[in-house]
């Protein structure tokens, strides 16, 4: 059996496909599984051995697209058509992924239209369409059930996957040592940002308790600058990665870390894949859809799990700013207590 999965979304979304891939591999161990993601997101999937072939489609952003991107996509389609897939599943809910599935010449093409309905053309292209609503589901469940609608997948989706054996050490990890606390404060979306002064206050309090702080950021210049400022303000007990880590290196750091404190971003999902205890801070995003999947975690948000918002919070442009530092410290203590009860005190 040959199976194609397309997920042309952001980096964290790409990692959310791994439970479905693992479930397919467990049910059909001899299947050939090919995954297509956006160029630039493939690195976070390097830790999933259940993927037989990982291919990329050109990123849609203007600055990241070159004049010859169309040629790369043409070559991608040619390669996919040679496979003659039994199943092609479009999990991005977008036309680019639909075109890839349509042109891949699969025997069965399937997608979901329970929330974002298909027009007449796409209904004809996709002969198998699931129509369950997923607005109050985790996105892992949405992908899993879309595939399970057509092929026999039993049970519930497993955890995310980035195997420890595929993680890579780094100078940052060596310098930080075991059981550091990782901060991940950056995001390209302003509404996801927790106040810089809150990160500094949290870091100083943890440093007083003897914790080593590593401030990790993405590659954007403003994120790097944010990480450096936070680390410098915390003091000698903190270092900044300055965006020097690959996803495999960040996975290595998270496997040995005491815990992660992060905004809603790809690092949060990678921590879940590494089973690193996580305190996740959410803004104007339904935490129920994106929270850490099947890993030790606490979610802090001014909104309800599914985006409900109180009247006093509605007046704030960034409700995440209402998450108090004291609540983050409480969440950290709760995760430590849970780990101790599970007999995992060596981890935290």
pLDDT band at residue 66 using 50, 70 and 90 as cut-offs: low
Percent of the chain with pLDDT over 70: 92
Residue 161 lies in a domain: no
Regarding pTM above 0.85, the answer is: yes
CATH of the domain at 123: 3.40.50.2000
pLDDT band at residue 346 using 50, 70 and 90 as cut-offs: very low
pLDDT band at residue 348 using 50, 70 and 90 as cut-offs: very low
Same domain, 210 and 141: no
What are the tens digits of pLDDT across the range 73-122? 889 999 999 999 999 999 999 999 999 999 999 999 999 999 999 999 99
pLDDT band at residue 155 using 50, 70 and 90 as cut-offs: very high
Residue 157 lies in a domain: no
Q: Where are the beta strands (DSSP E) in the chain?
A: 2-7, 32-38, 53-57, 87-90, 108-112, 128-130, 181-184, 213-215, 238-240, 259-263, 278-282, 297-301
Same domain, 186 and 319: yes
Q: Is the pLDDT of residue 143 over 80?
A: yes
- Choosing from 148, 180, 200, the residue where a domain stops is 148
Q: Is the pLDDT of residue 62 over 60?
A: no
Cβ atoms within 10 Å, residue 64: 12
Same domain, 202 and 331: yes
Q: Is the pLDDT of residue 30 over 60?
A: yes
Same domain, 98 and 138: yes
CA distance 223 to 246: 15
Q: Is the pLDDT of residue 63 over 60?
A: no
What are the tens digits of pLDDT across the range 210-268? 999 999 999 999 999 999 999 999 998 899 999 889 999 999 999 999 999 999 999 99
Same domain, 54 and 112: yes
On average, the pLDDT of the chain sits at: 91
Same domain, 128 and 219: no
Same domain, 179 and 323: yes
Domain encompassing residue 174? 168-341
Cβ atoms within 10 Å, residue 19: 24
What is the 8-class DSSP label of residue 260?
Answer: E
| pLDDT given at position 236 | 87
Same domain, 172 and 50: no
Same domain, 223 and 285: yes
Residue 156 lies in a domain: no
What are the tens digits of pLDDT across the range 277-310? 999 999 888 899 999 999 999 999 877 788 665 5
Residue 262 lies in a domain: yes
Same domain, 195 and 226: yes
- Choosing from 119, 148, 177, the residue where a domain stops is 148
Tell me the angle at which helices 325-341 and 196-208 cross, rounded to the nearest 10 degrees: 50
| pLDDT given at position 73 | 85
Q: Is the pLDDT of residue 342 over 70?
A: no
Q: Is the pLDDT of residue 69 over 50?
A: yes
Same domain, 36 and 136: yes
Domain count, the chain: 2
CA distance 188 to 233: 22
Q: Is the pLDDT of residue 345 over 50?
A: no
pLDDT band at residue 178 using 50, 70 and 90 as cut-offs: confident
CB 196, CB 318: distance < 8 Å: no
CB 203, CB 209: distance < 8 Å: no
CB 90, CB 69: distance < 8 Å: no
Same domain, 301 and 235: yes
């Amino acid at each position: 059996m040959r199976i194609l999965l397309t997920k042309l979304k952001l980096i964290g979304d790409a990692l959310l496909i791994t439970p479905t891939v693992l479930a397919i591999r467990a049910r059909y161990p001899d299947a050939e599984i090919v995954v297509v993601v956006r160029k630039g997101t493939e690195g976070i999937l390097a830790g999933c051995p259940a993927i037989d072939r990982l291919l990329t489609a050109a990123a849609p952003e203007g600055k990241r697209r070159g004049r010859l991107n169309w040629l790369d996509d043409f070559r991608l389609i040619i390669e996919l058509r040679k496979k003659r897939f039994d199943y092609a599943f479009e999990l991005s809910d977008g036309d680019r992924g639909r075109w890839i599935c349509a042109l891949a010449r699969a025997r069965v093409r399937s997608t979901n239209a329970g929330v974002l309905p298909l027009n007449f053309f796409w209904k004809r292209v996709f002969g198998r369409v699931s129509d369950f609503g997923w607005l109050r589901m985790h996105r892992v469940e949405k992908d899993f059930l879309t595939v399970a609608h057509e092929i026999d997948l039993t049970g519930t989706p497993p955890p995310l996957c980035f195997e420890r054996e595929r993680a890579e050490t780094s100078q940052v990890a060596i310098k930080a040592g075991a059981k550091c606390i990782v901060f991940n404060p950056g995001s390209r979306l302003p509404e996801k940002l927790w106040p810089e002064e809150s990160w500094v206050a949290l870091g100083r309090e943890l440093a007083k308790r003897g914790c080593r702080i590593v401030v990790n950021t993405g590659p954007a210049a403003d994120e790097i600058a944010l990480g450096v400022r936070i680390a410098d303000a915390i003091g000698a007990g903190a270092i900044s990665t300055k965006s020097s880590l690959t996803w495999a290196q960040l996975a290595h750091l998270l496997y040995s870390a005491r815990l992660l404190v992060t905004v809603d971003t790809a690092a949060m999902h990678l921590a879940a894949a590494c089973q690193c205890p996580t305190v996740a801070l959410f803004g104007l995003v339904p935490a129920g859809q994106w929270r850490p999947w099947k890993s030790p975690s606490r979610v802090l948000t001014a909104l309800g799990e599914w985006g409900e918002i109180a009247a006093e919070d509605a007046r704030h442009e960034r409700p995440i700013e209402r998450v108090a530092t004291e609540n983050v410290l409480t969440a950290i203590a709760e995760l430590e207590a849970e780990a101790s009860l599970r007999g995992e005190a060596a981890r935290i």
